[in-house]
Chains A and B, each alone.
Chain A
Amino acid sequence: MSTTDLRGANDSPAQSAAAQMLLRVDGLGKRFGGFVALENIALAVPAGERLGLIGPNGSGKSTLVNCICGTLRNEQGTVSFSGQKLDGLLAHQRTHLGLARSFQLPRPFVSLTLADNIRIPLLYTVAKRRGSHQSAHEIEDRCGALLREVGLGDKARRLPRDLTQVEMRKLELARAMAAEPKLLIADEAMAGLTHSEIEDILSLLIRLNEQGVTIILIEHIMSAVMSFSRRLVVLVSGRKIADGPPTEVMRDPEVERAYLGQ
């Protein structure tokens, strides 16, 4: 399988170039019993990148995210974040290091209000990092601010079961943002949103990126992916088949084949 890999970051002779990569995935493989979900995935994401990750359903995108974030254990390969190998680190430790993700199928804390949902990462990730105690007032303000950023400000006291599917996705995103990550992986955060809502989320993500957050966007909505990504990675059947500037990747015949069939 050829990869349209214009960065060549994986084979870069200068180690210093590699060290500048915020996220490095090397030879990652994951099996479920006899089923190979991911095979030999290599990825290098520099700080500040806007990476789009696309691929047909079942190609392994969410599995890759799970392996990077520690929810699943990969059997082969390594993941490095800020130069540090993540092998053996639990998911919450990776979050403390600065990795955050939203779940493809929203997983809210159902017995807690929206504000409290946001409070959890604030209490357990941000507070841990700062070391100092944030006052209850500061935390409360931050919860409200984050909810307002995704358009859920007036629902802070509600429970997740009162939300629509779309609102739950926004909550997912807000919760991931609350962890103040260096790298945010948004897993299909825009499914089911209207055009203007997609625009809102996109500008939110771009704002975050301008503030220094590296973003990996996993999406099926091609217009959003194309406009947002500075680089595009394509996953098909557990393998990476393309990696480069979006327009070039979309012209790659193999990518066309994957989406349109033989």
Chain B
Amino acid sequence: MVFSLDLLINAVVSGILIGGFYAAVTSGVSLSFGILDIVNIAHPAFIILGSYIAYIVNANLGIDPILTSIAMMPAFFVLGSGIYQVYYVSFEKRGQESLRGLAFFFGLLFITEVTLVLYFGVDYRYVEASYIGPSWHFGILDIPMRILVPCLVSLLLTAGLQIFLTRTFVGRAVMAVAQDQLALRLMAVDPIRIKRIAFGVSIATASLAGAFLIIIQPVEPSVGREYIGRIFAICVLGGMGSLPGTVIAAMLLGIVESITATFYGPSWAPAVSFGFLLLTLAVRPAGLLGR
């Protein structure tokens, strides 16, 4: 391990940028888990799905992955809405979320991963775009564009989501449904419809996050599993539903992971997010009644 200031600063900056990307990845779960209390552990699977769709379009038509993913967002929204409807009827209504609801999402995660393996095999896939490759040199900083661009768009996505939640009627209804469903009903708003929309939005963000992912790193079906620990660690640390908190927590995790990878080797990265997860869970003695 050679310690040098150059390496450290680059690691930190790289961590911040990756953190921006992690924030986009987690923002969907901040919505579904932090606000709606739905433990969708299959979220990474949808992200990978987004990655593969971006890959197919990019490989065959040469279209930029981010553009593809934005175009796919409506489809992902519909998918998310449909899944929530099944989840609601089968589990939430019966109060079975904690066991069977979890198993349901796990099944979805599994099915998605195995189906992708069957179709695409376990080879790593990557996309081509003009900003993948060149780096931006700024003094001692060496910033790859393929990380910078997704980070910037991620922050845009997160900001957009925040505006949606705080400024639009539907968005505020989503926040309200987490707090008081009865009051919402009294305002003639159907909480189930609101949750359906919210979950749809959550999955729609996965489409975009998938494009970011495959820009930043080559993707194969099991990559999603690495992100489960990261996503939930960031969600909990960021305050369960607070998007600004998610961004900060994501960057924190990004920095710690980056420094670990630079000085101890990349094979320890999964352990970092787990450590984070355990730490955040230990620090929040929320117990049974709290969140």
Binding site for B on A (CB under 8 A): 71-73
Contact = CB atoms under 8 A, between A and B. Distances in A.
B289 interface: yes
Contacts of A71: 288-289
B249 to A, nearest CB: 19
Contacts of B288: 71
A4 to B, nearest CB: 33
A93 to B, nearest CB: 15
A71 B290 CA distance: 11
Q: Is the interface of A mostly helix, strand, loop or mixed?
A: loop
4 contacts: A71-B288, A71-B289, A72-B289, A73-B287
Interface in B124-166: none
Interface of B: 287-289
A63 B289 CA distance: 12
Contacts of B287: 73
Nearest to A32: B290
Nearest to B95: A110
B121 to A, nearest CB: 44
A73 B287 CA distance: 10
The 4 closest A-B pairs by CB, nearest first: A72-B289, A71-B289, A73-B287, A71-B288
Contacts of A72: 289
A73 B288 CA distance: 11
A106 B287 CA distance: 21
A189 B289 CA distance: 22
Nearest to B287: A73
B49 to A, nearest CB: 36
A159 to B, nearest CB: 14
Contacts of A73: 287
Contacts of B289: 71-72
B263 to A, nearest CB: 40
A71 B287 CA distance: 10
A256 B205 CA distance: 54
B164 to A, nearest CB: 23
A199 to B, nearest CB: 32
A87 to B, nearest CB: 15
A73 B290 CA distance: 10
A175 B289 CA distance: 21
B286 to A, nearest CB: 11
B179 to A, nearest CB: 11
A71 B289 CA distance: 8
A161 B238 CA distance: 39
B185 to A, nearest CB: 18
Nearest to B288: A71
Nearest to A72: B289
